[in-house]
Amino acid sequence: MDEIKRIDRKLRYSGAIVDMYTDYMQMPDGKVAEWDYIAHRMGAAAVVPVLDNGNILMVKQYRNAIGRYTLEIPAGSRDSTDEPTQVCAARELEEETGYKAGSLELLIKVATTVAFCNEQIDVYVARDLKPAKQHLDEDEFVDVCECTIDELTDKILAGEIQDSKTLGALLAYKEKYIHADA
């Protein structure tokens, strides 16, 4: 395949979490194309919180970009570019669900929207959960619910769960831990 290369990048908007750019890309035929690019400054982490009974804790929250509530695994941005994603995952688990993990194991790495954004999310499996205290941000309103992996798979297949990190994480969890044990 012929090479495509970026020849220029212009900042269009700088926000709290992301910067938006126009990239000028040289195509193999010599023409120049303009592509949108969104740079996620911090990266993120997410967690599949597995209770002792095998059920998974999920969070329901409003997502402005799609104008509705979603059912997702707990997740959030790192506090700094050098914060380990495992630390971020543990913090987000407690903040959003009110549980602390006794153990965290890396499950998968997800590139959420490869066509125009560089956001990367490391997803962990949390086990040995212990009740703690929920610490929601001032503008965060989250409901926590407990679901079986089969209920969640049904919601994915019915189109009720569409969030990419949640889809990837739940299906990877089911394949690695549920099917492997069968």
Q: CA distances (Å), 101 to each of 46, 76, 94, in order?
A: 13, 16, 8
pLDDT digits (tens, 9 = 90+) for 43-102: 999 999 999 999 999 999 999 989 999 999 999 999 998 999 999 999 999 999 999 999
The pLDDT score that the predictor gives to residue 98 is: 95
pLDDT at 182 over 60: no
- Residues 33 and 172: their CA atoms lie apart, in Å, by 36
Q: Where in the chain is the domain with CATH 3.90.79.10?
A: 44-179
pTM: 0.92
Instruction: Report the mean per-residue pLDDT for the chain.
Output: 94
Whether residue 145 is predicted with pLDDT greater than 90 in this model: the reply is yes
pLDDT band per the 50, 70, 90 thresholds, residue 134 = confident
| CATH number, domain 44-179, options 1.10.1060.10, 3.90.79.10, 3.40.50.10190, 1.10.10.10 | 3.90.79.10
pLDDT digits (tens, 9 = 90+) for 101-126: 999 999 999 999 999 999 999 999 99
- Residues involved in catalysis: 138
Nearest one of 154, 156, 146 to 52, comparing CA atoms: 146
